[in-house]
Amino acid sequence: MTKSSHPDQVPASRRVAAALRARIESGELAAGALLPSERTLAEDFDVARNTAREAVRLLTDEGLVFARHGKGVYVRETRKLMRFGSERYSQRVREETGLSPYRAEVAKQGRTARVDCTSITTVPAPGFVAERLGLAAADPVIRRENWYFADDEPVQRGVTFIPVAVAGATPLADSANLGKGSLYARFADQGYPIATIREEISARMPRHDEKERLDIPDGVPVIEVVHTGMDHEGTPFEVTVFTMRADTNGLDYTIPVQA
């Protein structure tokens, strides 16, 4: 029989996956534990085996579980520390928490996030921005500068460049509505899920203002992470440069390493 009746809002496979995820995250299914078999899940949740299988696949893709042919599906030992740049992770975080990955990470650490927008101006596109956005050099772009804090401790700086056309079409988050509605969220509202964040990483010594505002000791470099946000067609719509201390709590990315 096919599913002719009322179309559920949320697909059954995701419903099952969410239920399993909850049981894993609550600790009911601890690390190393065996998930019920696909056939059992199908019966328990009253879905076809294929649907249960699809649910398990979603969890596998998230890195929450892994399957062993002939044995079963196990909960992963160490919860994979997904990183910022992971499109899957970003998407899920935004979907579930309604927060940007930054705010979600800070919240997870039990700290309070604050984002100050210090300026929004229109500037000629710097070379690397034009290159990534597919614009001519010096085409006008909106430049927004944010400073990110966790418990009033400065964590990173973010400078976002957005083509004026895009900024015109989607209201730009400023101090008034920061955090609630990022460009990504606005795109999502319009039915354009984020497909890709391309992440490029470099490092340099901090400039004076960065050194002061991010409270960086002498001799410590900063890491620069360039995020190019692309819609699901691969068209870039935003470039953000995040700057943070190389040796300290850049939250998800950076850790101290002494070899």
Residues lying near a copy of itself in the complex (CB under 8 A) are found at: 31, 61, 63, 66, 74, 76-81, 83, 85, 126-128, 159, 195-196, 198-205, 219-224, 226, 230, 232-236, 241, 246-247, 253-259
Long-range pairs for 83-89 at CB < 8 Å and ≥24 separation?
Answer: 83/252, 83/253, 84/199, 84/225, 84/252, 84/253, 85/197, 85/198, 85/199, 85/227, 87/194, 87/195, 87/196, 87/197, 88/61, 88/62
Binding residue for DNA (CB under 7 A) from 18, 19, 33, 67? 67
For the beta carbon of residue 237, count every other beta carbon within 10 angstroms. 21
List residues bridging with 119 in a β-sheet: 145
Which one of 11, 126, 140, 179 is in contact with DNA (CB under 7 A)? 11
Residue 47 or 223: the one with the smaller Cβ distance to DNA is: 47
Which listed residue (37, 235, 248, 249) binds DNA by CB under 7 A? 37
Distance CA 209, CA 203 (A): 16
Nearest residue to 31 via CA among 61, 64, 71:
64
Query: Which residue, 165 or 203, is less far from a copy of itself as judged by CB?
Result: 203
Closer by beta carbon to DNA, 29 or else 241: 29
Cβ–Cβ < 8 Å for 213, 118: no
Question: Taking contact as CB under 7 A, which single stretch among the options 52-60, 126-134, 135-143, 158-166 is the one that binds DNA?
Answer: 52-60
Q: Please answer whether residues 14 and 55 qualify as being in contact, where contact means their C-beta atoms are separated by less than 8 angstroms.
A: yes
Size of the site for DNA (CB under 7 A): 33
Within 186-225, which residues bind DNA (CB under 7 A)? 191
Binding site residues, DNA, CB under 7 A: 1-4, 7-8, 11-15, 35, 37-40, 46-51, 53-54, 56, 67-73, 191
